[in-house]
Amino acid sequence: MPAHQFQGFVDTVDSQNGIIAGWAVNLHEPSRVVLLHVLVDGQEVMQVLCDLKREDVRQILRIPSNKLGFRFRLPPEACDGAQHGISIRFDDRTALLFPDEDQPDRAHETLTFSRPPQTEYQSCVDGMFEGLLRGWVVSRNHPGADWSGHVVVSVRVDGVPVGTVRADCYRGDVVEFLKSAPNCGFELPIPQRYHDGLPHEITITSLPDEIPLVGSPLVTALADDQLTAKLVQIENSIAALHQQLTALRNTTRSLIPRKPLSLQHYDRWAKSYYPLLREQTALLRKARPLKETPLVSVLCPTWRPDEAEFRAAVESVLDQTYENWELILVDDGSQCERTRALLREYARKDRRIRTFSLKVNRGIAGATNKAISHAKGAYIAFFDHDDLLVDVALENMVRAALETGARLLYCDEDKVDAGGHFLEPNLKPDYDYRYLLGCNYICHLTFMEADTVRQTGPLDSRHDGAQDHDFLLRAVEIIPREAIHHVPEILYHWRKSPNSTSSSVSNKGNAIRAGEACITEHLKRRGIKATVSSVEHLSLYSIRWPFQKQPAVSIIIPFRDQLDMTRRCVESLLDTQTYSAFDIILVNNFSTNRETLAWLDGIRNHDRISILHVEEAFNYARLNNLAARHSNSDLLLFLNNDVIVTQPDFLKRMVQETQAAPDVGAVGARLLYPNGTIQHAGVAVGPDIIGVHVHRLQPAKAFGYIGRLCISHEVTAITGAAMLVSHPLFDAMGGFDEVGLTVAYNDVDLCLKIRDNGYRILFCAEAEAVHHESFSRGSDDRPEHEARFFNEKQIMLERWKDNPLFKNDPAYPHYFRQDLRTFFDLRNPEDLWS
C-alpha cells in the first residue's frame, strides 16, 4: 500500500470556463467518498465531494465503490483575469497533484491559473416614464457566477452623450426573475432640450465595453405637453443662431417648466430631509424641554434573524436621542444558538435591553404578547427585528404623546434596500378609519399607551400575517377618534430585501386571507355584516356594505341645451342602475334649442323625472340649491350633465358608503376622462391651490399612492360633478354659496363646511363613471372668465385662510407639492418647517 492515505488525479483543467475535473480515493477506506479542499492563493474557498461515478478508475484500482470522480467550477474571484495559485488538498492536507502538460512525467502541487474576464450581460430598457429613461442591467464574469448589479450605463441621444449612471436602483421584479442582486435598475432624466415632440434615437450601452442593452437604440418622441414641446423647439432653433441671439434664447429657456424633485428622486430628497429633521428636533428640545420622560417599552419579537440586519435594528434603538426606554427582545422558540447568543450579547451590552425566550414557536402574535406581558413602560412601541428606527423617533413620538394626550400614535415610514437607498415612502394622512378598513396604512411606527394596549387585549395568532391590522382595528373600537394622532415625520425604515414582506406580496402567504377575516370580525363586532374581499389579491380590501334601509335619492342635473350629452347622462342612469329608490331633477337653465325643448316635453311625464326651469344667468350654486328645495329625498346626488354612468351598482355603492357610519356627510365617485385616465379621486385643498384633483391623469388601472385609487378613504373635498350628500346636512350648511362662489370652488367650500362641523367626506373607489370635464360650461381659463375666477379664489382664501383643515389638508401629506402632479412631486425639505 502507498505511504499516503489518498490518491488521485486531475484529468481536465478547462481554463476557458474555469472547470477542473478528476478523481480521488481514500485507500484506507475505499468505500468512503473523499472530500477535497480547494484553495486559491493559499485560502480555502470551497469544498468538493468526489461522488461522481468513475467506473474506469474502480476497475483499475479494483475497489468496491465507483463514487470517485469530481468536477467543479472555480469561484468568480479566481476568474478575474489575474494570475492565481490553485491547489487541492485532502483531509490530511496532502496535495492532489496537477500534471505538467509539457512534461507528462512531472506534476505540481499548485496550478498557475489565469482566465481573462469575459463579462456577460442581461438587460432591458423599459422605456421612458415622465421624462425618465428606465431599465436594468446585470452582469457576471463567468458562467457560474451570480448575476450582479451596479453596472455603469452610458446614454446617448442622437449620438450625443447625455449622461452616465450606475445601475444600482432596487428592482424586485428582476430579483424574482433572475435571482440576481437587487440593485440593478437605473433611471436617467433626459435633458429638457430633447422634450420637443420630435423623434430622437436614444442609445444605452454598458461601460466600459460599450455593449448595447436589450431594447437599445430606442427611438421615441419626448414631450411633457404640447406647450413644453413647442417651447423646446423654439429654444433649439434659437440655439443654432448667431451669438447675438443668446439673450433671446435664455429668455425662452426660462419659460420651459423645470421638473421638481419627485418620488423617483426620493433617496436624494430623504438624505436632505433627515439632517433637517434632526436639527428641528434639537431646536424643539431646547425651546420646549420635555416636562416628563416616561419609560417607553420597545417590543421586538425575533426568529432566526439575519445577523447584520438584526444588529442594525438593535443599534438603531441604542442610538435614540430619547434615553428612557427598554428594549424587550423575545426569541420565538427559534432553537437557534446563534440567535440566543446575539440576544445575550446585547443584554450584556446595555442594561435597558431585556431578553426572553419561548420554548416553542408561537408566531409573531404569541411572541409579541410575551413581550407585552413583560413591558414596564407607560408607552409601548412595536418594532420588527430587521427594521430601523430613525435616531429621533422615540423623542418625537413621546413629545407628540405628551402634548396631544393621544393614546395611539403613528408616524410616516419609508423603506431601505440592501444598498442603503431610501425608497417607497409611506407618507400617511391623519387618522382615517375608512382607509384603515381598506388597508393597514398605520403599520409602523405604532406607539400606544401601555394601558390601552392591555385593554385592547393580546394579539390574535389566528390572524398571523395580519395580526397588527386586527390589533389596530380592536384598538380603535375603544379609543376615541380624537385620541388617535398622526406624527407627520418619517421616523421608521422598513427593511426591503428579497426575503422581506416589503419586497414581495407572495412572501405574505396567508396574510391576505387573515386580513379579510380580521376586518370581517371587526365589522361584525360593530353589528355590520359586510362582505370583505381582497383587491387584485393584495392586502388592500374592498367592502360591500349591507343596507340597513334604502334612502331615497334625488339626482340633480343642471344643464343648458347640449341635448346629446344631457340625454346620454339621463338615459345612462335610467338604463343601468340597480338601485331603484331614486328620481332625477333636471334643472333647465334657459335652454333654447328646439330639439332640447322637444325632448323635455317628451319626458316630462316620466315617473322618475321632474323638470325645473330656471331662466336666470348661469349660477351653478343657485341652480343646485333651487333643485334641492324641490326635493323631499334623504340624499342629494349633484351630477354634472357630462357625467355618463354605466356601472350598474354605481348609485348603490355610493349610497352604501353614506350608510356605513352616522358621521359620513358626503361621498364622491371615482371619475375617468373618456381616454380612461383619472379625472377625480378626491380633492386636496390649500392656500396655494384652493382645490386640486389628486391622482389626475393616472391610468384607470393604477393602484394610486399607497392604494388610494382602488380603496375607499377619507378626503377633505370632492368635486360637485358627482357629489352625494345628506339632504338635512346640506340644508344645515346653507347649501352652496350662490352669492360669492357662483361657479368655481362652491363644492370645495361646502366640503370644508361639512368637515369643519365634524363630518367625514369619503372617496368611493368602487363607484366609477366617465366625466367629460367642463363640456357643459367650458374652462375657467378662458379670458372672459378670468375676472370672476380670480374673485372666487380671493373669497376662498379670505374665508378659509386661518382654518387648520385648509392650511394643512389632513388627507394630503404636507411633504407633497399641491399642484397638478399630486402624490408625485415633493416639497423642498427646508420648506417643511418654514
Helix H, strand E, coil C: the string for 526-582 is: CCCCCEEEECCCCCCEEEECCCCCCCCEEEEEEECCCHHHHHHHHHHHHHHCCCCCE
Predicted confidence (pLDDT) per residue in 635-660, tens digit? 999 999 999 999 999 999 999 999 98
Q: pLDDT at residue 244 above 60?
A: no
Predicted confidence (pLDDT) per residue in 354-404, tens digit? 999 999 999 999 999 999 999 999 999 999 999 999 999 999 999 999 999
Q: pLDDT at residue 786 above 80?
A: no
Cell numbers for 757: 362641523
Pairing between β-strand 325-331 and β-strand 643-644 as defined by DSSP bridges: unpaired
Q: In the prediction, which pLDDT does 255 show?
A: 65
- Distance separating alpha carbons of residues 225 and 577, to the nearest angstrom: 38
Task: Tell me: cis bond preceding 558? Omega within 30 of 0 counts.
Answer: no
**Burial class of residue 258 in the structure, from the number of CB atoms within 10 Å of its CB (0-12 exposed, 13-18 middle, 19+ buried):** exposed
Cell numbers for 769: 363613471
Q: pLDDT at residue 790 above 50?
A: yes
Distances (CA, A) of 717 to 121, 152, 388, 819: 50, 46, 35, 15
Q: In the prediction, which pLDDT does 235 show?
A: 63
Tallying the residues shown for the chain, one arrives at 834
Distances (CA, A) of 699 to 653, 676, 803: 22, 7, 33
Indicate the residue type of 804.
P
Cell numbers for 822: 399630486
Cell numbers for 674: 373618456
pLDDT band at 618 (very low <50, low <70, confident <90, very high): confident
Distances (CA, A) of 491 to 329, 486, 581, 670: 21, 12, 49, 32
Mean pLDDT of 468-492: 97
C-alpha dihedral, 141 to 142 to 147 to 149, nearest 10°: 0
Q: What is the 3-state secondary structure (H, E, C) of 380-439?
A: EEECCCCCEECCCHHHHHHHHHHHHCCCEEEEEEEEECCCCCEEEEECCCCCCHHHHHHC
Predicted confidence (pLDDT) per residue in 29-51, tens digit? 999 999 999 999 999 999 999 99
Q: pLDDT at residue 2 above 70?
A: no
Q: How many CB atoms lie within 10 A of CB 758?
A: 9
Mean pLDDT of 267-293: 95
**Comparison of pLDDT for 74 and 506, the residue scoring more:** 74
**Comparison of pLDDT for 633 and 76, the residue scoring more:** 633
**Burial class of residue 462 in the structure, from the number of CB atoms within 10 Å of its CB (0-12 exposed, 13-18 middle, 19+ buried):** middle
Phi, psi (5° rounding) for residue 22?
170, -150
Q: What is the DSSP letter of 756?
A: H
Residues whose CB is less than 8 angstroms from the CB of residue 612 and which lie 6 or more positions away in sequence, other chains included: 585, 586, 587, 588, 626, 627, 630
Indicate the residue type of 666.
A
**Burial class of residue 794 in the structure, from the number of CB atoms within 10 Å of its CB (0-12 exposed, 13-18 middle, 19+ buried):** exposed
Q: pLDDT at residue 297 above 50?
A: yes
Q: pLDDT at residue 501 above 60?
A: no
- Distance separating alpha carbons of residues 3 and 1, to the nearest angstrom: 7
What H or E segment, with its residue span, contains residue 317? helix 307-318
Q: Please, which residues bridge with residue 495 across strands?
A: 416
Distances (CA, A) of 229 to 261, 501, 781: 21, 42, 21
Domains of the chain: 6-113 (2.60.40), 120-223 (2.60.40), 274-504 (3.90.550.10), 553-829 (3.90.550.10)
Q: In the prediction, which pLDDT does 3 show?
A: 55
Q: In the prediction, which pLDDT does 145 show?
A: 75
Q: What is the CA radius of gyration of the chain?
A: 34
Q: In the prediction, which pLDDT does 824 show?
A: 85
Q: pLDDT at residue 300 above 90?
A: yes
Predicted confidence (pLDDT) per residue in 519-567, tens digit? 999 999 999 999 999 999 899 999 999 887 899 999 999 999 899 999 9
* DSSP symbols for 255-275: HS-----BGGGHHHHHHHHHH
- Distance separating alpha carbons of residues 707 and 799, to the nearest angstrom: 33
Cα 338–chain centre separation: 34
Percent above pLDDT 90 for the chain: 67
Distances (CA, A) of 497 to 45, 140, 166, 650: 26, 21, 20, 41
Q: pLDDT at residue 503 above 50?
A: no
C-alpha dihedral, 601 to 603 to 608 to 611, nearest 10°: -30
Mean pLDDT of the chain: 89
Strand arrangement of the beta sheet that strand 132-140 belongs to: 120-129, 132-140, 183-189, 169-170
- Distance separating alpha carbons of residues 278 and 284, to the nearest angstrom: 10
- Distance separating alpha carbons of residues 342 and 336, to the nearest angstrom: 10
Cell numbers for 463: 390572524
**355 within 8 A of 329, measured Cβ to Cβ:** yes
- Distance separating alpha carbons of residues 133 and 187, to the nearest angstrom: 5
Phi, psi (5° rounding) for residue 612?
-110, 115
Q: Which of 328-332, 435-439, 690-694, 819-823 has the lowest mean pLDDT?
A: 819-823
Phi, psi (5° rounding) for residue 594?
-60, -40
Phi, psi (5° rounding) for residue 29?
-135, 80
> Angle of helix 467-476 relative to helix 363-374, nearest 10 degrees?
50
- Distance separating alpha carbons of residues 671 and 677, to the nearest angstrom: 9
Q: In the prediction, which pLDDT does 207 show?
A: 83
**399 within 8 A of 292, measured Cβ to Cβ:** no
Q: In the prediction, which pLDDT does 79 show?
A: 77
Q: In the prediction, which pLDDT does 51 show?
A: 93
Q: How many CB atoms lie within 10 A of CB 140?
A: 19
Mean pLDDT of 249-262: 64
Distances (CA, A) of 51 to 32, 45, 63, 66: 9, 19, 15, 8
Q: What is the DSSP letter of 727?
A: H
Q: What is the longest distance spanned by two Cα atoms in the chain?
A: 118
Q: In the prediction, which pLDDT does 1 show?
A: 35
Tell me if the pTM is above 0.85: no
Cell numbers for 46: 470551497
